[in-house]
Structure 1
């Protein structure tokens, strides 16, 4: 097979970048607008009212329902701002770790479950996984910290934002535009690094090193490097790359399902971890216990799903990539 020239590699990189970026933008831009409208109409407050009765069972004050509702519909950054405005300084490290753990799994659902859907996973499954998974993880942490009587000291905020006036619609639009530009630049960097790794053989070494671990979760070697992207940088980036690979037929639908199930519970282990630590959460909640919870939930769930009939998988878990959902 003839080796590609540097110009050919640059052309391929530009083509792949535009393809992945356009796929994500088609999901993100309409969703951001819809969510902004819902925010203005009081959708976040309505969702928080529905979640409020559950907070007591998790050892949290009812005000944390608004924090999680904001994270679910928007993102972790917005949830953090609500947390800082509603935290009266009386919460323990355990309580902050519980709400922080829930935010790690349940956030930015309108965008991220749509990304998972475009990759080939049923919308209902993705939504259920993130919502129930977030609640289950919160309860999991609450039980551990309550029975062990640990982390009961007052939480210390490691960062306190300066809260200004509510941004205007123009300021909001400019902020979203900056975010979209940043996403484009990150995608360029990601695809360039992955292409370089493939050329010099590092991708193969990564696949060989991680394949035994990911094989436990039913993730094929073809999806290993992309799953690693999702683990470290986030579900949107990993999912965006999976959309392209799945549509090309290089990754089977159930391999995509396995990867997106794993990423639904543990993704963006760098940025999101640091953000929740700034709230005063304990490292156990954002890293070690989160990975343990992911193992306990994802492994049996993925293997259960692979044992279902093709008709069941097609109806409830994955959709045909020949159609655009």
Structure 2
């Protein structure tokens, strides 16, 4: 009886330690990053970035004012970007093709300050995160822009199915919203840590690894990262990275797989929620979901099989 109690106590302490370590790591990253983003917006950096991106989005077949929408999304999140879009789209009409292209930009490159800081905590450098996410967003948007234009696809007017709720202005309202977000992150992260431990006890983890083994082999990522990949793809990069940090520290996942997983999740995280949000703007499902997913698999497969393997080869000896 005492041994069972001691085992239960040890297990609960271990779970509590995992939750605390993962959450505290995210807090140390997200709080400063969130404040920096707010300050940048306050001094007008978002507006400046939007103007700078105007000519870029015009090359993709979008009106220049939508550069501000992408700028807001990159610095903050998709919800704020949607609110900016709603304000700018009053009295305007866009095609499904245009909204799908904008949606790709928003889905691939959003929350870059916060999510870039989270990725940095796993060992992935800032410049790699920004290069992959911004570069991939522009590349995908350019490809689909050319396809839609050449074949005359998705030229019907887009239907906006969403209207933002009014938010409380100022620092107080912003601060309350951030505290609510951090509280929800604690609840969700705690649930995920417990769920991951239960799956491991029940042996479900091995089943999930087998189911995902074809994808993981294609990406050249070890099966140990399967569960975290699922969490990140379904819920978001912060949650997946929060768990990933614990796994890296415990030695369950090596640095190579960590880099590939973080880069993959940077392009495909939160597949359900984020995709649904962009659909509310009137985007095409196949473009923003399957187009993004296929591209991410192709890119990370190439990274795993070519670039990273080349780096792992020993340097030739000098004569």
Q: Aligning the two structures, in what range does the TM-score lie when normalised by the shorter sequence?
A: over 0.9
What is the CA–CA distance in structure 1 between the aligned matches of 2:181 and 2:159, rounded to whole Å?
30
SS in 2 for 1:96: helix
Q: CA deviation at 1:137?
A: 1.4
Match of 1:21 in 2: 23
Match of 1:295 in 2: 297
Match of 1:260 in 2: 262
Match of 1:122 in 2: 125
Match of 1:151 in 2: 154
1:103 maps onto 2:123 in alignment: no
Which runs of 5 or more structure 2 residues have no equivalent in the other structure? 315-319
Match of 1:160 in 2: 163
What is the CA–CA distance in structure 2 between the aligned matches of 1:198 and 1:248, rounded to whole Å?
15
Normalised to the residue count of structure 2, the TM-score between the two structures is 0.93
Q: CA deviation at 1:89?
A: 3.5
Which runs of 5 or more structure 1 residues have no equivalent in the other structure? 313-325
- Superposed CA RMSD in Å reads 1.8
1:134 maps onto 2:108 in alignment: no
What is the CA–CA distance in structure 2 between the aligned matches of 1:196 and 1:281, rounded to whole Å?
38
Normalised to the residue count of structure 1, the TM-score between the two structures is 0.91
1:76 maps onto 2:45 in alignment: no
List aligned pairs for 1:79-98, cutoff 5 A.
79-87=81-89, 88-98=91-101
CA contact (8 A) 2:33 2:117 kept: no
1:219 maps onto 2:243 in alignment: no
Could you list the structure 1 runs, at least 4 aligned residues long, displaced by more than 6 angstroms after superposition: none
Q: 1:222 to 1:162 in 2, by over 3 A?
A: closer
Q: CA deviation at 1:290?
A: 1.3
User: 1:77-113 deviations in whole A, cap 9, x for unaligned?
Assistant: 1000001111133100110011011100000000111
List aligned pairs for 1:228-307, cutoff 5 A.
228-307=230-309
The correspondence for 1:63, drawn from 42, 62, 65, is 65
Q: 1:7 to 1:286 in 2, by over 3 A?
A: farther
Number of aligned pairs?
310
